[in-house]
Amino acid sequence: MTDLKAGSSSELKGVPFVDLSAEHQPINDEIRAAVNAVIDRGDFILGEATARFESDFASYCGTAHALGVDSGFSALELILRAFGIGPGDEVITVANTFYSTVRPIEVVGATPVLVDADPELRNIDPNLIESAITASTKAILPVHLYGHPADMAPIRELADAHGLHVFEDACQAHGSLYRGARAGSLSDAAAFSFYPSKNLGAFGDAGIVVTDNPDVADRIRALRNLGSVVKYQHEGDGFNRRLDTIQAAVLGVKLRHLDGHNQARREAASYYRDALAELDVALPTVAEWAEPVYHLYVIETANRDALAHALGERGIQTGIHYPVAIHLQPAFRSLGYQAGDFPVSEELAGRILSLPMHPNLACSDVAVVADAVRDFSTTSATVS
């Protein structure tokens, strides 16, 4: 957290990166009532609120099924298991993403095969996928990074031509639209995370799988719950990966506010677009077929580290999502990639900066950030 030095610059107002208490304050009573109802019923595991939230979230996404799990990581892992993906199989995904997109592929025993991002949308570049397909490829896993959907139509076309599954890492994209259809409904199965700072966040770890496929839904229902649908009858592989009823109750309340929160994020993004337009930073591109939900608002600049430092001095919190591309993370060294393999992802990692973004970000907060970026550009222009 940024240290706001008391008294040093009292006229400067800091801007937090996210503001969960502002997000929850107006719905506090609703949330507490929903949690109290679970406490009163005592159905803490796979209770009424879990079933209700699953049905509401499936309708929201436009899918037939939703299965609550304990995290986005588990959602991805259980999707892979439900489709029978394991040792000897390859899953194609993108080098410009978070650890938890890629690690579940290894956890099931399969091999992640990375491709580079497209420099404009910063998602998997559909033109680079075909050359990564081998006889062992089983699936393609695009990520809707920062809440902007990946270009799913060409990916589906390639997958159909090669007999592959398509999954979505929709962990940053609750509510975003691709050609009018919701993230989560664009593939064979999709994973969402409800980590607290996501566009739809629980009060702890939580996630969900959505799918239209009833067999996959049944398999995930068993996988998440000890390989069992009927108590004490264990039919197959099992794990303890259930969504807590209390978390589902919180999420059920917050889901009703998701569209409003996403709209507020889009408004904040449009303030940024206006306020930063003339400055020496690259702003996020929006494809004409996309309605993004701005999980993050990520600009690019050659002077990223110095800019982040200058903003920090004014109490403006920023982040880097992510500072090291997947193939250069020590954890994925065994995949055998090298620096230079995915130049777009590598360049992004050095240039990207996530500015404060949340549903309660006011126009005046954006003005504070934009002033700081402008002052930085003016002073750094004289030295560079």
Ligand X SMILES: *Cc1c(COP(=O)(O)O)cnc(C)c1O
The answer to the question of residue 16 lying near ligand X (CB under 6 A) is no
Instruction: Kindly state the smallest distance separating residue 64's Cβ from ligand X, in Å.
Output: 23
Of residues 100, 211, 262, 317, which one binds ligand X by CB under 6 A? Answer: 100
The answer to the question of residue 73 lying near ligand X (CB under 6 A) is yes
Q: Which is nearer to ligand X, 146 or 271 (CB)?
A: 146
Instruction: Kindly state the smallest distance separating residue 230's Cβ from ligand X, in Å.
Output: 28
Residues 259-278 that bind ligand X (CB under 6 A): none
Instruction: Kindly state the smallest distance separating residue 239's Cβ from ligand X, in Å.
Output: 14
Instruction: Kindly state the smallest distance separating residue 222's Cβ from ligand X, in Å.
Output: 21
| In contact, 164 and 186? CB cutoff 8 Å | no
Q: Which is nearer to ligand X, 83 or 195 (CB)?
A: 195
Q: 165-169 and 137-140 as β-strands: parallel, antiparallel, unpaired? A: parallel
Of residues 143, 150, 166, 255, which one binds ligand X by CB under 6 A? Answer: 143
Phi, psi of 9 (to 5 degrees): -145, 70
Stretch that binds ligand X, among 56-64, 98-106, 146-154, 250-258 (CB under 6 A): 98-106
| In contact, 118 and 342? CB cutoff 8 Å | no
Helices of type H across the chain: 20-24, 28-41, 48-61, 72-82, 99-107, 152-162, 214-223, 245-255, 258-276, 304-313, 343-351, 363-383
Stretch that binds ligand X, among 47-55, 69-77, 126-134, 327-335 (CB under 6 A): 69-77
Separation CA 270–CA 247 (nearest Å): 32
Of residues 137, 185, 193, 245, which one binds ligand X by CB under 6 A? Answer: 193
| In contact, 224 and 78? CB cutoff 8 Å | yes
Closest among 320, 324, 300 to 373, alpha carbons compared: 300
Q: Which is nearer to ligand X, 171 or 222 (CB)?
A: 171
Residue with the two structure tokens 């507020």: 264
Q: Which is nearer to ligand X, 93 or 360 (CB)?
A: 93
Separation CA 61–CA 57 (nearest Å): 6
Q: At what angle do helices 258-276 and 363-383 cross, to 10 degrees?
A: 30
Structure tokens at 28: 């506090």
Instruction: Kindly state the smallest distance separating residue 75's Cβ from ligand X, in Å.
Output: 8
Structure tokens at 211: 């799918």
Q: At what angle do helices 214-223 and 72-82 cross, to 10 degrees?
A: 120
Stretch that binds ligand X, among 18-26, 68-76, 126-134, 176-184 (CB under 6 A): 68-76
Q: Which is nearer to ligand X, 171 or 251 (CB)?
A: 171
Structure tokens at 379: 């002073």
Instruction: Kindly state the smallest distance separating residue 365's Cβ from ligand X, in Å.
Output: 23
Separation CA 156–CA 167 (nearest Å): 10
| Residue 293: Cβ-neighbour burial (10 angstroms; 0-12, 13-18, 19+) | buried
Of residues 71, 137, 199, 354, which one binds ligand X by CB under 6 A? Answer: 71
Instruction: Kindly state the smallest distance separating residue 303's Cβ from ligand X, in Å.
Output: 26
The answer to the question of residue 146 lying near ligand X (CB under 6 A) is no
Number of H helices, E strands in the chain: 12, 12
Q: Which is nearer to ligand X, 46 or 76 (CB)?
A: 76
Q: Which is nearer to ligand X, 315 or 356 (CB)?
A: 356
Of residues 17, 167, 195, 376, which one binds ligand X by CB under 6 A? Answer: 195
The answer to the question of residue 101 lying near ligand X (CB under 6 A) is yes
Measured in residues, the chain has a length of: 384
Instruction: Kindly state the smallest distance separating residue 295's Cβ from ligand X, in Å.
Output: 7
Query: How many Cα atoms occupy the beta-carbon half-sphere of 162 within 13 Å?
Result: 23
Stretch that binds ligand X, among 10-18, 94-102, 249-257, 355-363 (CB under 6 A): 94-102
Q: Which residue is nearest to ligand X (CB)?
A: 72
Q: What is the DSSP letter of 336?
A: -
Residues 148-187 that bind ligand X (CB under 6 A): 169, 171-172
Binding footprint of ligand X, residue count (CB under 6 A): 15
Q: Is 37 helix (H, G, I), strand (E, B) or coil?
A: helix
Binding site for ligand X (CB under 6 A): 71-73, 97-98, 100-101, 143, 169, 171-172, 193, 195, 205, 207
